[in-house]
Structure 1
């Protein structure tokens, strides 16, 4: 089976490509680095020729509200149009748990538009909603830093290892389209501010974490369960503590 992975040279995409290839599939990584640009349309029709499945794990190079909306709206339309012309039978996209609950954020508004375009396209699809990656903890801290203080809401978070996300995306790509959303999360639940504080301490980062219920998460206010998956989520096998120990 030929599976084209948009964003296939990034963190998740490269792992999806490797996992699919290990199972005997023709996994083709596609990104601007390989001459495929979904925003401009360059190389998209060519790389999708003969593909049965397209997997989109790409991300916007800019998180500014207008830029990220332009990226997901335009690139998704280009990809869906080319997919129809190529006869792609399954469109798989990676998104985020809680996207519909984070609509104060420009980034998540853009992700919601991406999902709506896919659902309305007429192409059989599967959308994978992942919780925050283990590897993204520093990015969360950086986004909430002012001076030497990191302000984060004391809410639940159930982060997941990128390997487990890639495994779920890869399995979805070669499976039957669900025409809906599949969630994947890690096995352990934490309090966001406490987890980030522990990670900064482990990395000898001098910043101080302050629990602030009003502090936004990439522009969106959080409730206790905003970032948490539902009861039917697939649970990854990698525990955060084991991953963190390997980082030391």
Structure 2
């Protein structure tokens, strides 16, 4: 099925009670991010309404209210589109996943890894998935309670611990990014604020689990 064109969605959603939308696009362009998330969300909502879906759940990110820039601009556009739709909904914001550090490393080569200065409260994707199921089963609530990890962290520290754990000799260097996006990453907004639910799996627990794939 195609969330942009809608091809195959009607068949896929037949008899479905709830849709959990975790579609994603990797981009730093605010324009591309908005375009993707607005189009995908409206297409899913239209197909869901036609199929009689009673609950649309959108995965989003904690603390992005004042970060209408870069990738986060698309997530905010997605939230607005969901709220403006006619399908009962829940917006489930979570912390960045532990897996984000792994993904960042996999996109870089060379002995030095440049890591944007980011204060976060990362959570395991496995626990976040369980949270999304809980939100789906609880019924539409509009904005669900935020779900974050158990510890305040810096992204650069996560990357360094991962490199050490995986036996890599690469070095992580933290740097601040300019503009609204960079200031937002470094502000601590992505750690979320109470009230919030907290997962139990720390980053170090995750490193030692089967969910982590070593990155050289």
Structure 1 unmatched ranges of 5 or more: 1-35
Pairwise CA distance, 1:111: 1.1
Equivalent-residue separation in structure 2 for 1:217 and 1:164 (angstroms): 32
Q: 1:135 to 1:149 in 2, by over 3 A?
A: closer
RMSD: 2.6
Q: 1:151 to 1:59 in 2, by over 3 A?
A: closer
Superposed counterparts of 1:106-117, under 5 Å: 107-117=71-81
Q: Which residue does the alignment assign to 1:180?
A: 143
- SS state of the match for residue 101, structure 1? coil
TM-score by structure 2 length? 0.85
Q: Which residue does the alignment assign to 2:194?
A: 231
Pairwise CA distance, 1:159: 0.8
Pairwise CA distance, 1:144: 8.0
* Higher relative contact order (Cα pairs below 8 Å, separated by 6+ residues): 2
Moved more, 164-173 or 129-138: 129-138
Q: 1:217 to 1:188 in 2, by over 3 A?
A: farther
- SS state of the match for residue 94, structure 1? strand
Alignment match of 1:71 (pick from 29, 36, 40): 36
Q: Which residue does the alignment assign to 1:52?
A: 17
Pairwise CA distance, 1:156: 2.8
Equivalent-residue separation in structure 2 for 1:170 and 1:227 (angstroms): 22
Query: Is structure 2 residue 157 aligned with structure 1 residue 194?
Result: yes
- SS state of the match for residue 133, structure 1? coil
What's the CA shift string for 1:108-137, capped at 9, x where partnerless? 111111110000113211111111111221
Superposed counterparts of 1:74-85, under 5 Å: 74-85=39-50
Q: 1:52 to 1:245 in 2, by over 3 A?
A: closer
Pairwise CA distance, 1:143: 6.4
Q: Which residue does the alignment assign to 1:123?
A: 87
What's the CA shift string for 1:207-226, capped at 9, x where partnerless? 322333x2369953333312
CA contact (8 A) 2:119 2:152 kept: yes
Structure 2 unmatched ranges of 5 or more: none
Q: Which residue does the alignment assign to 2:177?
A: 215
CA contact (8 A) 1:103 1:220 kept: no
Q: 1:140 to 1:99 in 2, by over 3 A?
A: farther
TM-score by structure 1 length? 0.75
Aligned residues: 209
Equivalent-residue separation in structure 1 for 2:162 and 2:60 (angstroms): 24
